[in-house]
Structure 1
Amino acid sequence: MHRTRSRLELTAAALVFVAGAAAAQTPADPAAVPAFRKLDSMEARAQGCVTCHGQQGQGTSNDYFPRIAGKPAGYLYNQLRAFRDGSRRYAPMNYLVAYLSDDYLKELAEYYAALRPPFAPPQPAALPPQGIERGRTLLQDGDASRQIPACMACHGPKLTGMVPGIPGLVGLRPNYIAAQLTRWRTGERRAAAPDCMQRIASRLGDNDIQAVAAYLGAMAAPSDPAPDPRDIVRMPVACGSQQ
């Protein structure tokens, strides 16, 4: 009874959050209009996520709010816990999950991991040919001279991530990708030790970040967007997110 009541209270709080956020947006993004079938359900309780991430976690028209649908549950759980505990900072997210338990965050992560909404159309790369080629090289081959492994070596051949904790990159917008790589590089964003992304991002220059972001943003989604199973590839660096 107490669990049900807590969930209903969280749902009500989420709806207030969504209503207030939606009122501030003109016009409203159709992908972010709250809609659910059953009050006591994870679909209803997740309405606090809709304004930024879309009704099915597909993302919205705002470049900086990413697609979260279909990402590995372990990755989503790690991010939710990082927002809750303050090791990843973004005030609206920190506030929204501040008092949620580990079990609840796992349930929320599993809900979004199971969703498979359509992908937004890719964005044409706004870089000269040499920039596009640099992005392709870093994604597919890396740069051995600077000890930068290929993105595909960790994020999978389809760039859809790897269970349990490596996120998919396809379907993210260039501005979001560039912003996150910059945060990794500066140490503003961190992960469990050994922090492989911080180590790799610290070796990227500004032009590298723009090239990777543009190339990824222009990629079409694969026919099967599911994350790859664990250890489908041998990762080139130790990564705490996979432990």
Structure 2
Amino acid sequence: MPRYLVVQAPEDGVRLITLQRPEALNALCTELLAELAAELESAERDPATLAVVLTGSRKAFAAGADIREMAERDLVGILNDPRVAHWQRIASFAKPLIAAVNGFALGGGCELVMCADIVIAGEDARFGQPEINLGIIPGAGGTQRLLRAVGKPLAMQMVLTGDPITARQAQQAGLVSELTQPELAVERALQVAASIARKAPLAVRLAKEALLKAGDTDLATGLRFERHAFTLLAGTVDRDEGIRAFQEKRPAHFLGQ
């Protein structure tokens, strides 16, 4: 049983994971990250889970890393930090991951948001990378994913000043896909996840992988991957079902085959 997570069993193909460390505004201690990585790996293996929604509290999605824990680590501890492996496991989750964000998403919290594929934010959300104020820099992908998400000028401003941005600024910059009232963020994220869960699972997985390739490779390599994935899907049962359903004007019933 996780100590710092509340997990709802899959419903309509969607698993809901809630960060639950309210006394520390969901600060990402090593144990919490380990639990989250393990839970996502469990979701990866579970055929009943087709998408995952990740959220925190109304006050904070996650307010950053655990500063007390960081202060206890010397150079050897930093070099052998187990959190690095946990972050890699979280970032490699292959199924759709939707973040529902309210309140603070700072430091590691903002980096965790950027591991998600879709971000639904309440209008009160705040996103930032304040590590510079501690004499350090983001260490869980913040400098790399942030620049890819919002562009060089805003990423530079956020990282070098440590100042957060509003949910509306985050949406305008491309970090957030949709804004909603704070009390509706989780509900809306579940709706989006349920919509994805009704699609053909193989197509969803390959579509996500193809889109991620666009940020990791050159255009020619990305196009080759896209064409290969398109060809693979052409031979699936779900592709035939999708075309038949369209022709017969009925909902498709995909099997993941």
Please say whether Structure 1 and Structure 2 have the same fold, judged by a TM-score greater than 0.5: no
Q: TM-score when scaled to structure 2? A: 0.30
More strand by share: 2
Q: TM-score when scaled to structure 1? A: 0.31
Higher relative contact order (CA 8 A, sep 6+): 1
Q: Give the structure with higher Rg (CA).
A: 2
